[in-house]
Amino acid sequence: MTTGSGPAAGEVYRVHWLPGTDLLHGSCHCGAEHTDDDPVEMWGWMLTHEHRHEESHR
């Protein structure tokens, strides 16, 4: 892979409403997951969390 330039590509995040709740569940391409009831907070998390990189590739 030739990555390393940051999260510039689209469609690396997925968000859905959790059925029966007011909660959003988001997951990042890096494997991180987050649940929040505020879409703004959710996007904030997406943009600021530390991406976990696969360490099996060292």
Residue numbers at the binding site for Zn ion (CB under 5 A): 28, 30, 32, 51
Instruction: Of 6, 16, 18, 1, give the one whose Cα is nearest residue 47.
Output: 6
What span, in angstroms and rounded, lies between the C-alpha atoms of 3 and 19?
A: 35
Q: Which is nearer to Zn ion, 14 or 51 (by Cβ)?
A: 51
Q: Which is nearer to Zn ion, 16 or 51 (by Cβ)?
A: 51
Q: Which is nearer to Zn ion, 23 or 28 (by Cβ)?
A: 28
Q: Minimum distance from CB of 46 to Zn ion (Å)?
A: 7
The DSSP output letter for 18 is P
